[in-house]
Structure 1
Amino acid sequence: MKQLSIYVHVPFCVRKCLYCDFLSFSPEGSIVTDYFEALNKEISQSADNYRDYEIKSVFFGGGTPSFVDSKLVCGCLDSIRACFNVCDDAEISLEVNPASAIFRKLSDYRAAGFNRISIGAQSLNDSELKAIGRAHDSRAFYDTFENARKAGFDNINVDVMSALPGQSLESYLETLRKVISLRPSHISAYSLIIEEGTPFYDMDLDLPGEETDRLMYHETKNLLQQHRYHRYEISNYALGKEHECYHNKVYWTRGNYLGFGIGAASMVENVRWSNLRSIDEYIQKIDNLSEIRENTEPLDIKSQMEEFMFLGLRLVEGVSISEFKRQFDKDIFGVYGDVISKYTEMGLLKLDRGYLHLTDQGLDVSNTVMADFLL
């Protein structure tokens, strides 16, 4: 049976963080319940097209899914289970914010079948949290983590961020050490990127220098590896292969995924599309799926090969030479021989046991290398 992953977008937040460019906002009136009613309609109306697929992962992201009533979130998961063939061992994840993930909600999620929680800590330094506009403090994070354990979650990811305003190497590593001491099964460690259209873009920020930023990046890898977290993707670390995020790996390996909710992206059998970004339009047009979908694009072989390379090279394991041949009936060296030779000679790429992967030095400049795989 073919495999499929499902993403559900919950766009509501108590307030938007100063660095955030995701599709999210504070709700007003009955918009939350109206939105979830539309979400459940989209799920039920879509299901007939995917009877031949088994669902290997479900991911509720946002926004802040834990901000809304847990009954709405759990009811939406029930709708997915009722309409789709969800595997018994499917990874079912939910993003939560320490400001809203109270014990009762966490218990509701676990009882409904969620088995993986991702907690957005970002920092455990209260002045840094305030500087980036987070709605929680470090105490709230510790409470949330403890409550997640009490609610029965064994698979917990914690997000941390480096290169924040006013952050030093020492304060960043202190946050990282505190998170490690809790032994979450997974840690995602990202460097702050200032995106156009965010409040940060127009602010004069006291950011760490480039040298400090690079030190943070290297010390992240060193410190996590010392504590048995293995790096499997540029920014992601797990306590054992069994705790790697299956859902995100579907994106990086170009698996089939179906997105529900405003702005949600889908790619199934090499056809990509996305949903309307206007919540009012989405709710009004939900009875006709064709009207809420836009930017439909069947991917040609060139685009598929490009994605295979620049997404797959994000993984430390790299891309499979035989899988490239299987998918495209082409020899990878016949298509990318010059680029592969160039970066192999520079020590940035390596061929090892049938996989082509970035070296440690290559991972440091991954964007530059991956861009060269665009045909």
Structure 2
Amino acid sequence: MHSEIEGIGLYIHVPFCKSKCRYCDFNSFSGRDQLIPAYFNAVAKELVQYGDKLRGLRVDTVFIGGGTPSFVDPAYIYELMELCVKTFEICRNAEITIEANPGTLSVEKLTLYRQAGINRLSMGLQAYQKNLLGLMGRIHTAEDFISNFKDARKAGFENINADLIFGLPGQTLKDWEETIEGALRWEPEHLSCYSLKIEDGTVFGQMLDRGELCPADDEQDREMYYLAIKRLGQAGLRHYEISNFARPGYECRHNIKYWRTCRYIGVGPGAHSYFDGKRYGNICDIENYIKCIDNGQNTAENIEHIYKKDEISEFVILGLRLTQGIDISEFRQRFGREIFDIYGMQIKELTEKGLLECMGSRLALSSKGLDLANSVFVELIR
């Protein structure tokens, strides 16, 4: 199983937004601000409940995500971090991230985050062009991003990520290039580049159904992806996961926990946990979540016992998302079996197709495999 020395990850969900983006299918809401005080009260209670379960275990990554955590009064975040320090054994060199949207930050807010011990900032830039930001329902401009990025540096943030989206309807290769160059100009330590997925239940999903949206074609989407890999590589950012690039030493340690199937706890509505041989998520509705916590009821649902077979396939599929792939000896150590005994035939076929590479003690996607990752994963679990 997992090494006991390895710390646990803690995810805290803040579901509030100023306005909901058109592509977003996360558990987030706008116009529910009246619930904020009761919400943070409930989250505090859930954190304290976990205090006992995690006794003796070290927390080495904390990720405050959303929603838009930077939308709420920073005093809530400060108090939350104080409680975490009191409740858990947080490592001295823990990576502590907060997600933020440009236009919701100020030097004062960022300074308070730093005082609370937060040392990594993840900003949703998405695009540089006003028309594309407007199409997505973003409420900021590229100028807001620039000014908030400078504010973050002033406040002492030395680890900043920017999220970018490609494959947007109407986005040209030139737009995407301009977005990449715009982000690189400020020398962030980390960039995430996501290909737009139009999900059911989102405004984009409804627009697509009504024929009001013309999605980017696959060829252009791939061209944008290759451009990102090439340009970010030239700028010294290492491509370490399908969608993620970082300066050496600035890879997101919290997200690596997900890809390496390490243990983590999720707090707040819709937050997921992988702990104690089980995977489960909290109920999604904010009011219900608050009511359950206040009445001392369990908020976990869809509790799934992870059997060895599932754990093995998750380890392989998620591990292959990392460009360095899977350590074959770690697989043997963790599961007491050889990876080739279980997946030998698929590995052979995928290697012959040029989608997988075996390099020394590692098994990884080739550059062609990175491009066709989903079909590789389907082959492996069939």
Q: TM tier, shorter chain?
A: over 0.9
1:257 maps to 2:261? no
2:100 aligned partner: 96
Where in structure 1 are there 5+ consecutive unaligned residues?
Answer: none
8 A Cα contact 2:11 2:65, kept in partner: yes
**Equivalent of residue 179 in structure 1, options 177, 183, 186:** 183
**Equivalent of residue 218 in structure 1, options 210, 226, 232:** 226
2:369 aligned partner: 362
Task: After TM superposition, list the pairs within 5 Å mapping 1:271-350 onto structure 2.
Answer: 271-287=278-294, 291-350=298-357
Where in structure 2 are there 5+ consecutive unaligned residues?
Answer: none
1:23 maps to 2:38? no
Query: What is the TM-score when the length of structure 1 is the normalising length?
Result: 0.97
1:73 aligned partner: 77
- Partner SS state of residue 290, structure 2: helix
What amino acid does structure 2 have at the position aligned with 1:328?
Answer: F
Task: After TM superposition, list the pairs within 5 Å mapping 1:144-293 onto structure 2.
Answer: 144-203=148-207, 204-240=212-248, 242-287=249-294, 291-293=298-300
Deviations 1:235-288 (A, max 9, x none): 100011x10000000000000100000000000133111111111111111146
- Partner SS state of residue 29, structure 2: coil
Residues 195, 24 of structure 1: alpha-carbon distance in 2 compared, 3 angstrom cutoff:
same
- Partner SS state of residue 372, structure 1: helix
Q: What's the offset of the Cα at 1:96?
A: 0.3
Figure out how many residues of one structure are paired with residues of the other and give that number. 374
Q: What's the offset of the Cα at 1:45?
A: 1.5
* Cα root mean square deviation, aligned: 1.2
- Partner SS state of residue 170, structure 1: helix
Q: What's the offset of the Cα at 1:290?
A: 5.2
Query: What is the TM-score when the length of structure 2 is the normalising length?
Result: 0.96
1:111 maps to 2:115? yes
- Partner SS state of residue 380, structure 2: coil
CA distance in structure 1 between the aligned counterparts of 2:68 and 2:112, rounded to whole angstroms: 16
CA distance in structure 2 between the aligned counterparts of 1:8 and 1:150, rounded to whole angstroms: 26
Residues 299, 68 of structure 1: alpha-carbon distance in 2 compared, 3 angstrom cutoff:
same
Deviations 1:182-203 (A, max 9, x none): 1100000111110011011121
Residues 78, 345 of structure 1: alpha-carbon distance in 2 compared, 3 angstrom cutoff:
same
CA distance in structure 2 between the aligned counterparts of 1:226 and 1:332, rounded to whole angstroms: 35
What amino acid does structure 2 have at the position aligned with 1:56?
Answer: D
8 A Cα contact 2:16 2:32, kept in partner: no
Deviations 1:70-111 (A, max 9, x none): 000111111111100000000000000002112211111011
CA distance in structure 2 between the aligned counterparts of 1:29 and 1:314, rounded to whole angstroms: 37
Q: What's the offset of the Cα at 1:313?
A: 0.4
CA distance in structure 2 between the aligned counterparts of 1:304 and 1:210, rounded to whole angstroms: 32
What amino acid does structure 2 have at the position aligned with 1:46?
Answer: Y
